[in-house]
Amino acid sequence: MSLEVRFFASLREQVGVSEITLDAASIKTVEDVWQLATNGQAIPDNTLCAINMDYVRLDASVKDGDEVAFFPPVSGGSV
Amino acid sequence: MSLEVRFFASLREQVGVSEITLDAASIKTVEDVWQLATNGQAIPDNTLCAINMDYVRLDASVKDGDEVAFFPPVSGGSV
Amino acid sequence: MSAELRGEAFEPTTELQAFEARLDAGKYGACVSFVGSMRDFNAGDDVSAMSLEHYPKMTLQFLETICEEAKSRWDILDCLIIHRYGDLQPSDPIVLTAAWSAHRHEAFEACRYLIEELKTRAPFWKKETTESGERWVHDAPSTPDS
Amino acid sequence: MSAELRGEAFEPTTELQAFEARLDAGKYGACVSFVGSMRDFNAGDDVSAMSLEHYPKMTLQFLETICEEAKSRWDILDCLIIHRYGDLQPSDPIVLTAAWSAHRHEAFEACRYLIEELKTRAPFWKKETTESGERWVHDAPSTPDS
């Protein structure tokens, strides 16, 4: 199973990774993706995640070809 | 006592008067002003009145030099 | 703070830019503006022209008062009202209200306050020209939020 | 209906005019617009610069989704979102949301919906430069409606 994984903003800086491609049969959930992509770092509180541009929870299932993203709370756009 | 009286919009067309100056000692209230200025026509429902640019009721007292205005409900300004 | 009456057509975006140029850029983070323009329909009829009557001194004084009320009720940097009178054509801007503040909530509330007060209390009277002739809007069939 | 991301500075009034030129004038009587711009202060500190990170595909898709939601929830003719990303200076416009409708209520509600959804759910992250260095805004002391 091949997955594109992306990290954004402060999470990208903490993890030290912007993009990584995983290729492993053992991955089932978004949380598994985090563990493998970060070498087992703890997941910060309030981390948001998305599969293929949709917000999901950490226990959501992933499938081959998915793009999985992790990011901190949004602080976007306006006042 | 001298008073400037003004009528606006549909009320101006109904009464047939735009501006009139009254000079009479017998006037006490806005309603008296209407009676004299319109030769005793009935006051349409929902008529609004103002003394010196402030909304008042028909029983408000007038004094020498006041500008008294009568107009229909506002339909102003926007959607 | 500015309230103005205009006898000629005005361009709301130009007015907003000109007014903003006088403000302290960087101090506001939010601007909310409302533009009311003339529709070519009302109460089920086509409308080809409109005349907007007002009571010059009272109308201006009223607009200035609601600007002051908005500034005292919300923490805004500034606000603006520009309002047309006279003869208008469909799609002409009728009114612009705008409010600037540090945060969006105050700007929305103040801008909305200006237009709601103006709409319900400001001395303006519309006379519409339709296929069946002229009519005062306050005599026409009313719609809940027209 | 249009949602756009911009890497360069934009002028909200110019954008509003250009978008309005595509609409059917006379059919809308109300336009409400919101402009969020960069303040030179936040959470008690002076801010001299800001960088706005986003997740291009997801952010654009999200903005398109909330435009569609606004159109389905209120009777509006059209709506617009333009949002900056990249490096910004104080007073730069960050975001424009706007809605056009026959009546003012719908335009206010839709415009406010767009900016509230955008603010709370759109994937954007601000990094501010202050005297004491750079900081991510989501790590900074929060203010209720900043």
CB contact under 8 A, C103 and A78: no
| D41 interface with A at CB cutoff 8 Å | no
Q: Which residues pair with B23 in a beta bridge?
A: B2
CA distance D66 to C100: 24
CB-CB neighbors (< 8 A) of D29 in chain B: 78-79
Inter-chain Cβ pairs, chain A and chain C, closer than 8 A: 8
Query: Does position A67 have pLDDT exceeding 80, yes or no?
Result: yes
Closest residue in chain C to residue B46, using alpha carbons only? C138
Contact C43, C80 (CB under 8 A): no
Tell me which residue of C145, C144, C143 sits closest to C43, measured CA to CA: C143
Contact C76, C100 (CB under 8 A): yes
Task: Find how far residue A62's CA is from the centre of its chain.
Answer: 11
What are chain C's domains?
A: 2-132 (3.90.1170.40)
Closest residue in chain C to residue B47, using alpha carbons only? C138
CB-CB neighbors (< 8 A) of B11 in chain C: none
State the pairing for strand pair D76-84/D93-101.
antiparallel
pLDDT confidence of residue C6: 97
Q: Is the pTM of this model over 0.90?
A: yes
CB contact under 8 A, A75 and D125: yes
CB contact under 8 A, C102 and A78: no
CA distances from C42 to A60, C127, C141 (A): 52, 12, 9
Q: Burial code of D11-29, b = ≥16 C-beta within 10 A, e = fewer?
A: ebbebbeebbeeeeebbbb
10-residue block means of pLDDT along chain C (146 residues)? Answer: 96 96 92 95 88 96 97 98 96 96 96 95 93 82 44
A with B: 3 or more CB pairs under 8 Å?
Answer: no
Residue identified by tokens 């598994």 is A32
Other beta carbons within 10 Å of D45:
15
| D104 interface with B at CB cutoff 8 Å | yes
pLDDT confidence of residue D140: 52
How far does the CA of residue A14 sit from the closest CA of chain D (Å)? 12
| pLDDT beneath 50: ranges in chain D | 141-146
Residue identified by tokens 């999470």 is A11
A-contacting residues of D 42-61, CB under 8 Å?
52-55, 57-58, 61
User: What tens digit of pLDDT does each residue of B37-55 get?
Assistant: 999 999 999 999 999 999 9
Closest residue in chain C to residue D25, using alpha carbons only? C91
Q: Where are the domains of chain B?
A: 2-71
CA distances from B41 to B20, B22, B26, B33, B35 (A): 15, 16, 18, 11, 7
How far does the CA of residue B75 sit from the closest CA of chain D (Å)? 14
| A79 interface with D at CB cutoff 8 Å | yes
User: What tens digit of pLDDT does each residue of A26-54 get?
Assistant: 899 999 999 999 999 999 999 999 999 99
CATH class of B2-71: alpha beta
Which phi and psi angles does C83 have, rounded to 5°? -135, 135
Closest residue in chain A to residue C30, using alpha carbons only? A79
Checking ipTM against 0.85, whether it exceeds it is yes
CB-CB neighbors (< 8 A) of A78 in chain D: 34, 36, 94-95, 115, 118-119
| C73 interface with A at CB cutoff 8 Å | no
CA distances from B18 to B7, B9, B14, B68, C143 (A): 5, 9, 10, 12, 29
